[in-house]
Structure 1
Amino acid sequence: MAPSSTVAETKGLGKGLGMGSCKKTKATKTPSPKETTTNGTTTTDTDNKTNGDAAGGDTEETDKASAGTEADEPKEPKKPLAPFGSIASPKNIYKSPKDSDGNWTWVDKYPEDVEDAAENEETAQYAVVVRNVKSNDSRKKLEADSIVIQSPWLKKALAEILDGYTGVACELDRLEFEAPFRPFVHRWTEFRAYLDKKKEEVVVDDDDDDRTREHLVILHDILQYEIGHSIKAFEDYVAKGVITFEHLWMLFQPGAVVLAAHKGPQSAFELDETEYMENQCGKFLQLRADCVDYGGKTFGRHREKINVPEFLGTKKITGLNAYPWAFHPDREALRAALVRRGGLFEELAGHHYKQYSGTAITWDREGNEVPIQVEGRVVIDINSFNRFSPYYNTRRLTDWTAKDAEALSAWKRKQEQQQQQQQQQQQDDPGKDGNNPKLTPYHQMLARSRTRGYSLKLKKWLDFFVEQVTEITWNTQAFDKLVLPEDQKELILAFSESQLEGSAFDDVISGKGKGIICLLSGPPGVGKTLTAEAVAENLRVPLHTLSSGDLGSEPWEVETGLARILELVARWDAILLLDECDVFLEARSAHDLERNKVVSIFLRTLEYYEGILFMTTNRVGNIDPAFRSRIHVSLEYPDLTAASRRLIWANFLRGATLESEVSDADVADLAGLPLNGRQIKNVLKTAQLLAARKKSPLRRSFIDVVLNIEKRRPQSSL
């Protein structure tokens, strides 16, 4: 017999077709225990009974004698059973045939219709084993269900041809491929090129080379018969830039880059696998592909599922919602744009205070994505998002692949070499960031188009589109325009700046008393909230604003919510503003135990707060004594004077978006109206809307129109 896998032929096996070399065994009938065979004549118990009856009454006496003899014989003792699970041997049981109801069980009897195994020592000789089934194709009687590669020469060749193809390990003893033979479809061009190269490289007296070439030809002929028609049709479609849903899977080779506007703008993904599926909406081809994401501490891969819906006839490839990178008309420009966006994504790792303008993503109760418009300051912080967001589970990341790790290590070495070469330049330019990127350009290209964080204005955890995140344009004049005595402004700044620099006085007990608490009291609209905003703007840190309603009313809600907020504020180096927080400051009493609990929790939590806290109140006279000892700065804002209002009018007019024709005399006249700062701001905002509609500069007449309307409002203070 020839050595295993050396026969340069294929062995075809049929599935359920009566094919193969298996021998049938004819069943032999065993005589029944009630039958007796004598000299070729079979006599049954019935015959004996008849003969006995004919002989008269001797039968009964004979039976009695026989029974007596059996009773006298000793019974063979029952063989004792071995202890449970102690016999060192396997016990085979078999699946029974199904009954009329389709039920089956496990039985001890060996099946009678079992044939010899089709794959055995004989088939092991062949380079390739082809398992055949009846074909549904009108052009074929049979088609291959699967192909087993046994030739070591073929395996070595396929290791080169299919290098990097997901899910193929050519070093296996039994290398098996199932129809529709996707690896060969996707690497058909490489297969043909490798075969042509082997045909040209004829080496004299090289048995290995001859066997490789011979076995490759055999495999090529098999595949040409099995998938040749499909490949020819596919190549025709691709040449014309279209595809059918039936052939769609052929476009997507595992490991290749695909483009899709999936959950955002067009992005690049690395494909892992595809599968035709169906749900209540119809059939679709599901692409399972990876993007690069940040998990709060490290970068890694995240698996996305992209569905391409079924379509009739042919469809333009670039018109699909997902298609291979190779079909994009301007790949280099797209690559540059994606790498640039990926660089922004990488820079946003960690926590960052930014500006945002555009659509963001929130989630409903079922977890469905809902677009929401966001304008204002945001904090990008994926780690805190994963911990505190009530809407969305953490995006699971997988570790880098071996290929990823190798590429990242090589990129790191290259960056270190460049850093050494440019070290002198970086010393000459202190404003240049010397931090090296952690991602290669390829991984930046695969980076997600969205990041996660918190909207300070909406007080929501959201998904933000990376390209809508911008740097903050700071209002450097905010603190200068604050209408406060200069000594009070200097005091607030001194406390705030020392706190951020880490030079605040510590309590005797470690961790206590490190924070700065400022109490701002006075009537509405005199500048309490504006003070906190101006300080945050001057220090260029986030301002997190809360009211008592944001924390709830139950003691456990207040404790949980406040602890979470204080942790975030400390992490972000932010300023916390508790607006209209009288419910927390009011003195405790004997008749309201629940509110007393809330005040106690608030006091205890603030004891270990290490940041800057502004609290505003309209009722400074009813503050709990325990709070007074914890307040570092207490400022009382009186009602605005005419001079203060004149300064506020002038400040808002200078900051108007429209050209202003309001004179100084108009400002002096307007300052005589009993308006607070918030009312002045709202009047000017509405007047600018009227002027913009008229395509006119801002004039006193527009302000008067708004003031007259306000006077007619119920409970107007004008």
Structure 2
Amino acid sequence: MTRIVINKINSDGVRKDSPPNEPLEKKSSGKKEDYAFKLRKIITDDLSDVNSSEIEIESSALWELMKTSLVSYPYHIFHGNLPKTLYSPYEAIVLKWDNLVRATEDPNAGDEQARSDLKELLSVVETGSGDPKLETYFRKRTSIKEQNLITYEALWTLFPPGGLIYGKVFQGQDQVLIVEDNTSPWPYRDNHFQLLCWTYDWDGSQFKRLPLRLDFEPYDNEKPINSLPYYPLEYHEDPEALKTRLIERGMKYRKLCTARPGSQMFEYAGQTVFLKKGFSGVQGNEESDSDLISQDVYGFSSKPYPGGHVTKSVQVTGRVMVDFQSYFRYGLGVASVGDLVPNEGHTECQCPTCLHNPALRTIFRSNFDGANCDGKQWVPEQYLICPPRVLGYILREKQWAQLQVDLLIDVAPKDHNDTWSSGLKLASKSTKQMILDLVTGHGQRGLEVNDIVERKGKGLVILLYGPPGVGKTSTAETVAIKARKPLFAISVADVGTTAKHVEANLARIFALATTWQAILLMSVILFSARVRY
């Protein structure tokens, strides 16, 4: 018959008392599996709430039953040989409590003795673990769950690895994320509780899990679960309707991210988050290449936000470019979501045991990595966990920014005849039509111009000159509207004034204009002066 022994030990390792129903000698002389498990209570001298405990599993049948129920829990806790020691607050057991309870009631889950031992283990954890905080949690567990309340200290019990949580990370937009882990159970009142989570993001070439760190401020007493900044999706007032709406938004997100070159321009009207003006290494910037290198989660060279936060949120109306790859290359380079930047400390075990654990890979959604844009059907959850923002460039404001997915619409297919026909006045109608024909025909197959020198003759440069007010800029703007092409405006300040940087800056600007198939408007002021000799 399997028996249970409880030892109480001081924090310095000295035995405080012997088992109440078993001589101490029995512990040392018994066989390996004389006990199903042993509970040791670690008691401090002042009997404070820092007391803890540990459970040593010795029964192989009990251990196999627990491993079957907790196979998806990470960090190699349920691997290796017996005896195996678990430490309070027994996160795996508490977070998977319902799974373990079901295992004790399932005749197919294991032999009768193992189920009985597991039931006894759960009873010990629930009522006599020796961890005061854990015992307080279990005393209140039933009542607070029925009322959907939670204390600050017990926040970690809400978020098992792999769970779906709801929150508003970016400009009040609904978002669903996947839990990876918490930073520490039993948070102190003067420390914020933090949760490591995933969203599903585009890196310019593929979709990947993007790790983020969520923050909870301390609070007193119990609090309604759905009043937390982030909480399990099941506590949302209408989770099914929310899922339907976010899956639809995720489909749009995927379409925006994978738009082909020449189709990345959209109309936008609403709030956006400005991240950076101009381009990395442009505007006569004296920064060295080493200053710009800071690898983000995607491996792109990046520069972190000053102070770790985005700058500001502003109202924008106009045309924007959705282009993650150019954003990482020329903009800020950090795949942020609102004020949250990727959690650089994220690591996922790549050992053979973890890689061949289907249950573990399922809760971490490892199979989502590397999903490409070849039209392969996603599962609904991939759309569900897409963020509510895309990364791109605001043409008029010259700002790299985060843009709300729901506010992006396709450019209207109308010809803008009023703007072109009556808005733009040129002395010669033939000149006006020639400019439009050159722009709309440029780059189309069958209309390329070849030169005797390789790779020459592919460009189109139109020089507009004259005093201020004659319509140079208006001409470029009107042609862009009519041709439905981005107007990429650049000034001397964007090119720089330092000779050694001008060539490199121009190369970056021309490369970006080529990527966007944009009309590049460069404003240059020429000065002339008479010099006397």
Short-chain TM bin: 0.7 to 0.9
Aligned mates of 1:379, 1:281 — CA distance in 2:
44
**Residue 484 of structure 2 corresponds to residue 540 of structure 1:** yes
Specify which of 107, 110, 115 is matched with residue 213 of structure 1. Answer: 115
**Contact 2:179–2:198 (Cα < 8 Å) also in 1:** yes
Question: What is the Cα deviation at residue 449 of structure 1?
Answer: 1.5
Aligned mates of 2:252, 2:143 — CA distance in 1:
41
Partner residue of 1:388? 330
Divergent runs of 4+, >4 A: 118-125, 135-140, 276-281, 390-401, 405-409
Partner residue of 1:366? 307
**Contact 1:551–1:558 (Cα < 8 Å) also in 2:** yes
**Contact 1:361–1:463 (Cα < 8 Å) also in 2:** yes
**Contact 1:365–1:391 (Cα < 8 Å) also in 2:** no
Q: Relative to structure 1, is the Cα distance of residues 319 and 218 closer, same or farther in structure 2, using a 3 angstrom cutoff?
A: closer
Aligned mates of 1:438, 1:7 — CA distance in 2:
52
User: Deviation per CA, 1:89-108, whole angstroms, max 9, x where unpaired?
Assistant: xxxxxxxxxxxxxxxxxxxx
Question: What is the Cα deviation at residue 245 of structure 1?
Answer: 1.1
Question: What is the Cα deviation at residue 316 of structure 1?
Answer: 1.4
Question: What is the Cα deviation at residue 297 of structure 1?
Answer: 0.9
**Contact 2:212–2:342 (Cα < 8 Å) also in 1:** no
TM-score under structure 1 length normalisation: 0.57
Question: What is the Cα deviation at residue 179 of structure 1?
Answer: 0.6
Q: CA RMSD in A?
A: 3.8
Q: Relative to structure 1, is the Cα distance of residues 193 and 543 closer, same or farther in structure 2, using a 3 angstrom cutoff?
A: same
SS state of the match for residue 230, structure 1? helix
- Spell out the pairing of 1:146-185 with structure 2 (5 A cutoff): 146-167=54-75, 169-174=77-82, 175-185=84-94
User: Deviation per CA, 1:33-87, whole angstroms, max 9, x where unpaired?
Assistant: xxxxxxxxxxxxxxxxxxxxxxxxxxxxxxxxxxxxxxxxxxxxxxxxxxxxxxx
**Contact 1:277–1:284 (Cα < 8 Å) also in 2:** no
Aligned mates of 1:311, 1:501 — CA distance in 2:
62
Partner residue of 2:212? 304
**Contact 1:291–1:301 (Cα < 8 Å) also in 2:** yes
Q: Relative to structure 1, is the Cα distance of residues 396 and 554 closer, same or farther in structure 2, using a 3 angstrom cutoff?
A: same
Aligned mates of 1:242, 1:281 — CA distance in 2:
18
**Contact 1:271–1:290 (Cα < 8 Å) also in 2:** yes
Question: What is the Cα deviation at residue 133 of structure 1?
Answer: 0.9
Specify which of 353, 357, 382 is matched with residue 443 of structure 1. Answer: 382
Greater CA radius of gyration, 1 or 2? 1
Aligned mates of 2:476, 2:141 — CA distance in 1:
66
SS state of the match for residue 513, structure 1? coil
Partner residue of 1:470? 409
Paired amino acid for 2:309: N
Partner residue of 1:357? 269
- Spell out the pairing of 1:453-492 with structure 2 (5 A cutoff): 453-473=392-412, 474=414, 476-477=416-417, 478-481=419-422, 482-484=424-426, 485-492=428-435
**Contact 2:491–2:522 (Cα < 8 Å) also in 1:** yes
User: Deviation per CA, 1:384-430, whole angstroms, max 9, x where unpaired?
Assistant: 11111147478769899833355789x99xxxxxxxxxxxxxxxxxx
Aligned mates of 2:164, 2:205 — CA distance in 1:
26
Aligned mates of 2:34, 2:459 — CA distance in 1:
82
Specify which of 488, 494, 500 is matched with residue 556 of structure 1. Answer: 500
**Residue 175 of structure 2 corresponds to residue 241 of structure 1:** no
Question: What is the Cα deviation at residue 546 of structure 1?
Answer: 1.6
Aligned mates of 1:239, 1:468 — CA distance in 2:
39
Aligned mates of 1:576, 1:151 — CA distance in 2:
74
Give unmatched runs, 5+ long, in structure 2: 19-26, 276-304, 349-354
Question: What is the Cα deviation at residue 135 of structure 1?
Answer: 6.4
**Residue 400 of structure 2 corresponds to residue 493 of structure 1:** no
- Spell out the pairing of 1:379-458 with structure 2 (5 A cutoff): 379-390=321-332, 392=334, 402-403=361-362, 404=365, 406=367, 436=375, 439-458=378-397
Paired amino acid for 1:149: I
Question: What is the Cα deviation at residue 443 of structure 1?
Answer: 1.5
Q: Relative to structure 1, is the Cα distance of residues 408 and 461 closer, same or farther in structure 2, using a 3 angstrom cutoff?
A: closer
SS state of the match for residue 524, structure 1? coil
Aligned mates of 1:245, 1:537 — CA distance in 2:
55
**Contact 1:407–1:440 (Cα < 8 Å) also in 2:** no
Partner residue of 2:515? 571
SS state of the match for residue 249, structure 2? helix
Aligned mates of 1:162, 1:277 — CA distance in 2:
19
What percent identity do the matched residue pairs reach?
A: 24
- Spell out the pairing of 1:683-698 with structure 2 (5 A cutoff): none
Paired amino acid for 1:455: I
Give unmatched runs, 5+ long, in structure 1: 1-5, 23-117, 203-207, 413-433, 592-718
SS state of the match for residue 220, structure 2? coil
Aligned mates of 1:537, 1:119 — CA distance in 2:
87
Question: What is the Cα deviation at residue 490 of structure 1?
Answer: 2.6
Paired amino acid for 2:404: F
Question: What is the Cα deviation at residue 230 of structure 1?
Answer: 2.3
Aligned mates of 1:489, 1:375 — CA distance in 2:
28
Q: Relative to structure 1, is the Cα distance of residues 367 and 375 closer, same or farther in structure 2, using a 3 angstrom cutoff?
A: farther
Partner residue of 1:691? none
Question: What is the Cα deviation at residue 235 of structure 1?
Answer: 2.1
SS state of the match for residue 517, structure 1? coil
Question: What is the Cα deviation at residue 304 of structure 1?
Answer: 1.0
Aligned mates of 2:221, 2:458 — CA distance in 1:
71
Question: What is the Cα deviation at residue 186 of structure 1?
Answer: 2.1
Aligned mates of 2:58, 2:118 — CA distance in 1:
12
Question: What is the Cα deviation at residue 165 of structure 1?
Answer: 2.9
Question: What is the Cα deviation at residue 269 of structure 1?
Answer: 0.8
Partner residue of 2:42? 133
SS state of the match for residue 501, structure 2? helix
Aligned mates of 1:250, 1:545 — CA distance in 2:
53
Aligned mates of 2:387, 2:46 — CA distance in 1:
43
**Contact 2:269–2:316 (Cα < 8 Å) also in 1:** yes
**Residue 5 of structure 2 corresponds to residue 14 of structure 1:** no
Specify which of 274, 288, 296 is matched with residue 196 of structure 2. Answer: 288
Specify which structure has the bigger relative contact order, considering alpha-carbon pairs within 8 angstroms and separated by 6 or more residues.
2
Partner residue of 1:525? 469
**Contact 2:71–2:78 (Cα < 8 Å) also in 1:** no
Question: What is the Cα deviation at residue 282 of structure 1?
Answer: 3.5
Question: What is the Cα deviation at residue 542 of structure 1?
Answer: 0.7
Aligned mates of 2:140, 2:185 — CA distance in 1:
23
Question: What is the Cα deviation at residue 145 of structure 1?
Answer: 1.9
Aligned mates of 2:137, 2:493 — CA distance in 1:
66
Q: Relative to structure 1, is the Cα distance of residues 334 and 20 closer, same or farther in structure 2, using a 3 angstrom cutoff?
A: same
User: Deviation per CA, 1:355-402, whole angstroms, max 9, x where unpaired?
Assistant: 111222134643421223322111111111111114747876989983
Paired amino acid for 2:455: G
Aligned mates of 1:463, 1:193 — CA distance in 2:
45
**Contact 1:134–1:143 (Cα < 8 Å) also in 2:** yes
User: Deviation per CA, 1:301-325, whole angstroms, max 9, x where unpaired?
Assistant: 1111111111111211111111111
**Contact 1:165–1:255 (Cα < 8 Å) also in 2:** no
Count of matched residue pairs: 458
**Contact 2:62–2:117 (Cα < 8 Å) also in 1:** yes
Paired amino acid for 2:318: G
SS state of the match for residue 570, structure 1? helix
Q: Relative to structure 1, is the Cα distance of residues 210 and 316 closer, same or farther in structure 2, using a 3 angstrom cutoff?
A: closer
Paired amino acid for 1:381: D
Q: Relative to structure 1, is the Cα distance of residues 385 and 223 closer, same or farther in structure 2, using a 3 angstrom cutoff?
A: same
TM-score under structure 2 length normalisation: 0.76
Partner residue of 2:24? none
**Contact 1:261–1:321 (Cα < 8 Å) also in 2:** yes
User: Deviation per CA, 1:644-666, whole angstroms, max 9, x where unpaired?
Assistant: xxxxxxxxxxxxxxxxxxxxxxx
Question: What is the Cα deviation at residue 329 of structure 1?
Answer: 1.1
Give the structure with the larger helix fraction.
1
Q: Relative to structure 1, is the Cα distance of residues 143 and 367 closer, same or farther in structure 2, using a 3 angstrom cutoff?
A: closer
Partner residue of 1:259? 166
